[in-house]
Structures are given as C-alpha cells and as structure tokens.
A and B are shown apart, each in its own frame.
Chain A
Amino acid sequence: MIRINCPFCGERDHSDFTYGGDGSIVYPELDAPAEEWVEAIFQRENIRGVQTETWHHVSGCRQWLVVERDTMTHEIHSIKAAHEGVAKVLEAGK
C-alpha cells in the first residue's frame, strides 16, 4: 500500500485515490498541428525513477494532486494541489 499525504485531508491509503497518469504533459493549443496532439496524448517517456504524476482523491476531498513518485520504489517525494491557485493558498497558509 502506498500512503499518500493529501494536502487537504492528511495521510490516506492509495486505494482512496485513482491514478491519473503522467502529470508532466502540457497539452498544446487547440489549433496546434495534429503531430503535437499525437505526441501529448499517445507518447510517454515512461520513466523508471522519479516521475511527476496526477492522483485524484476520489474517496476523499475529490481534489486532483500532483505527486512526484519513484516508479521503482514507490517512494513519494512531493505532493501538491494540481490547481495552481489552490496550491499557492495552501502554501501561504503554512
């Protein structure tokens, strides 16, 4: 079991969450060439090591989180809210 320390709810089992996937993807503009969209939607670096990924706290606060996790050891290095404005407010409140 991976334990994920949700910035809203505290530490929970990973079964509270759903895995969103690669969090480093930046989607192109809507009118960008098709190749850029193919790259963003289908192509993955598939890192063995620390990767940025998203998790959805679906059985908790229902917030999306951006997590840095090692895909070999499952160790989590950082967690923050995916919404940048919310993440800033949380950071300021610490």
Chain B
Amino acid sequence: MTRFSAWSVFRNGLSGQSGWTRQWRDPEPKKQYDIVIVGGGLHGLATAYYLAKNHGLKNIAILEKGWLGGGNAGRNTTIVRSNYFMPGNRQFYEHSLELWENLSHELNYNVMFSQRSHISLLHSPGAIDGAARRYNTMRLTGTPDAEIWDLEKLKQNVPHLNYGPDCRFPILGAAVQKRAGTARHDAVAWGYARAADALGVDIIQNCEVTSTSRSGNSITSLTTSRGEISAKKVGFAVAGNTSRLWQMAGFNTLPIESHKLQAFVSEPLKPLLDQVVVFGVGGAHFYISQSDKGGMVFGGDLDWYKSYAQRGNLPIVQDVAECAVSILPCLGRVRLLRHWSGVMDMSMDGAPFICKTPLDNLYLNAGWNYGGFKASPASGWYFADLIANDRPHETIENFNLDRFAQGVSLDERGAGPDPKLHG
C-alpha cells in the first residue's frame, strides 16, 4: 500500500499516475478467525481497525454481504455533530467528534471532514430556553463550542434564510455547534478499510451470513455464501438488518424496528450555504448542507411505516420539498438530482446498543437510528474495546439491551417507546 503524502502526489503526477497500488487486498476467506465482524459498513470497518490498532489483535475478518460502503455508509446526509444532552450520549458523541477531528491524519486518508458549524434554528422563546439548557450543559461537560446566536448574528452568518415576518414559523435565533460539520462518506469507508487492511484485517466482500452454528452458550461458526467460517468471537454490526441476523443467532426479539429514511441531493449550485442548517418546528423536520461538488444535500423525516425496502415514498418527498422552500425559498426552482433511502435500526428510545449478548462470544452493535454516520468512529472504538476486554467501557454502560427493563432508557427526544418518533 502506498502511503499518501504531498510527495507521492507530486511524484505520481510526473509519472502519469502509474505508481498507485491497490488500496486493500481482496483475500479468500480463511476457515478460522479469532474475531469475525459481520457487516462491512462504517461501524464494522472502524471496529476492525481499532481492534487491530488499539488492542494489537490479529486474525480478524470483516464479512460484508455486498460491497464496502454500499449500505447506509452511502445512504446518509454526512452530518457530524455532538450536541447531545443525556449522560452517556454526551460523552460518547463528543468522543466521536474528537476522533473525527484527527481522522484524516490517523487514517492517512482525506475524509474531507469540514467543521463548518451545525445551526439549529429556533422559533420560540421556549425553544431558545430549551436550547440554552442543552447547550449550557454541553459547555459544562466538555463541549466548549456550543453557542446560542441571536437573530442579528444568525442573519450575518446565514443571510438567505427565510426571515420574512409573514413566514409560518418566524426565526428568532439559533443553537450552534461550531466544531460540527460534514465529511465525505465514501472516503470514511475507504479510509477505514485501507487502514484496517494495512494492519492485517481480512475484508471479505460478497460474503453474506446465512446461518450460525452454536455449541453450548457460544457461536462456533458462521455459514456464509463463501463457505463455513469459524470464529472465537463474533461481532454484529449490521444496522438495518440486525433483527434478521439476531434471529439467525437463535434469538427472537430486539427493541428495534427497521424503518427507512430518505435523503436528497440537488443539481450542483455555486456556493450558497456554508453551514449545516437544521429546521425543526411544528411538524417540520429538515436538515441541509452543501457538498463540495455544490449539490444541496438534505433530508427530513422517516417514511412513517416499518420497511426493509431501500426506496422512499412520495409523500415524504413532498414534505421535505415543502420544508426546503419554506426555510430557503431560493431553492424553489432547483432541481433534484437524486434521492435515496436507507434502512435504519430505529430503537425504542432512539439510542444505540454496543453491548454483550446472552451468548458468551457474541457482541452486538446496533440501533443507530438517524445518528449512525457521526457515531461511526466512536462506535468502532467502543465496540473494539468491548470485544477486546469483554466488558463495556463506562461511557457505554447504558448502551445495553437491559436498559428498558431497568427503566434507564436513553430517550434524548422524550418520545417514548415508538421507534418511528425518534427522528
């Protein structure tokens, strides 16, 4: 593997770009591994990387049923932030943001992390008070970049929002996290894959797990579309399809429903929006940023019914378009280029699971709701820590399956046990 540097770019520029090598190997699966991670998305790739990097472990494989970055890694709006309120969530997402800040350097791969600010619009005195409580809590617990902006400051920074006095929800201010931003989703998958491969991890694509074999209280092997693979430890990181894999492992139910979430990108425009802007009031839920290619990347609510289909419905397209023109009327005649839909693990409280399971050597990483992209570095970091040490780190103590029975759910939104409401 060629290490990227200014010199390597320069040298290959002079030699017709002929000096580049494969970014990662395409190995045949071995019969036996110490650790098998099922799911080659951002979370699985990050987990394998940190298992090798932080814990010095060898003989690790990632099994991916399709291709790298083909699932939800490529079906998101690439927003990274850590403006969480509840204990546990707060530390976890802040740790994730710190990992993001050094990720390009760490992986020697440009993930194009752009800390362009995350601006949540506020529309009532009550919303401003609520945001002040949340953002003050962040400031007091190690997230120094949380700010509340008044209308004047917001207008100076984002001049073309709909500030009209006749709009349905007049803007009064904004809650801002300045270190938040966006990253290039494919580059995150490729960067982790390349770095994990360099540390000896076998990344096996087109390898779907179809059943598991158990002996006593352990999984002994996985039957896959590329043969039988035995493993000493197994980690599941297949958000969207967690329930199916869970049932292959011999269990029945989980506090998870699969729902689909759409996202959209417009035709490329000249620079228009320097920040991530979020509009959420009344029935509206909308978030938008502009990619480096100029496309407006945006999304809204779930499709409102349970589904495993990776395609969205039209009422939500209309709903999101209405949000777009109500907050950024200048987008009225912009054309959509593409839209897509990903299948989310929506959990019963909107918070994830990184935990041990009833089986001794099976570990679960699931339930990422809307928040999987920004969480991926910390998700991998803590999941690797869990698998290597066989105990949850204190930060993720509550990210377990028992929290509902214990009455300590992590319901950031206060929406109750209805998965579709945890947007």
Q: Are B304 and A41 in contact (CB under 8 A)?
A: no
Task: Provide the residues of chain A in CB contact with B405, threshold 8 Å.
Answer: 34-35, 38, 42
Q: Is B255's CB within 8 Å of the partner chain A?
A: yes
Task: Provide the residues of chain B in CB contact with A38, threshold 8 Å.
Answer: 404-405
Name the distance in Å between B352's Cβ and chain A's nearest Cβ.
15
Task: Provide the residues of chain A in CB contact with B305, threshold 8 Å.
Answer: 2, 14, 19, 53
Main secondary structure of the interface of B (DSSP, over half): mixed
- Of B37-45, B75-83, B110-118, B307-315, the one contacting chain A is B307-315
Once the chains are docked, how many angstroms separate the CA of A45 from the CA of B254? 7
Name the distance in Å between B420's Cβ and chain A's nearest Cβ.
7
Q: Are B243 and A44 in contact (CB under 8 A)?
A: yes
Q: A1-B313, A41-B417, A44-B243 are in contact. Are A19 and B306 (CB under 8 A)?
A: yes
Task: Provide the residues of chain A in CB contact with B417, threshold 8 Å.
Answer: 41-42
Say which residue of B304, B308, B313 sits within 8 Å of A48 (CB atoms). B308
> Closest chain A residue to B416 by CB distance?
A41
Q: Is B258's CB within 8 Å of the partner chain A?
A: yes
Q: Are A42 and B255 in contact (CB under 8 A)?
A: yes
Name the distance in Å between B227's Cβ and chain A's nearest Cβ.
24
Once the chains are docked, how many angstroms separate the CA of A38 from the CA of B402? 10
Q: Are A43 and B314 in contact (CB under 8 A)?
A: no
Q: Are B306 and A71 in contact (CB under 8 A)?
A: yes
Count residues of B near A (Cβ-Cβ below 8 Å): 26
Once the chains are docked, how many angstroms separate the CA of A62 from the CA of B306? 21
Q: Are B309 and A53 in contact (CB under 8 A)?
A: no
Name the distance in Å between B251's Cβ and chain A's nearest Cβ.
10
Once the chains are docked, how many angstroms separate the CA of A19 from the CA of B254? 20
What 0/1 readout, one digit per residue, does chain B (53-70) give for beta carbons within 8 Å of chain A? 000000000000000000
Q: Are A15 and B256 in contact (CB under 8 A)?
A: no
Task: Provide the residues of chain A in CB contact with B308, threshold 8 Å.
Answer: 48, 71-72
What 0/1 readout, one digit per residue, does chain B (410-423) give for beta carbons within 8 Å of chain A? 00000001111000
Once the chains are docked, how many angstroms separate the CA of A53 from the CA of B315? 20
Q: Is A18's CB within 8 Å of the partner chain B?
A: yes
Task: Provide the residues of chain B in CB contact with A48, threshold 8 Å.
Answer: 241, 243-244, 258, 308
Q: A1-B314, A46-B258, A48-B244 are in contact. Are A53 and B306 (CB under 8 A)?
A: yes
Once the chains are docked, how many angstroms separate the CA of A14 from the CA of B419? 19
Interface centre among A39, A42, A73 (most CB of B within 10 A): A42
Once the chains are docked, how many angstroms separate the CA of A13 from the CA of B308? 20
Once the chains are docked, how many angstroms separate the CA of A53 from the CA of B256? 15
Q: Are A43 and B306 in contact (CB under 8 A)?
A: no
| Chain B positions 370-420 with a Cβ under 8 Å from a chain A Cβ | 404-405, 417-420
With A45-B253, A51-B306, A71-B306 given, can you name 6 additional A-B contacts, CB distance below 8 Å?
A15-B315, A19-B305, A22-B257, A38-B404, A46-B254, A48-B241
Q: Which residues of A contact B (CB under 8 A)?
A: 1-2, 13-15, 18-19, 21-22, 34-35, 38-39, 41-46, 48, 51, 53, 71-74
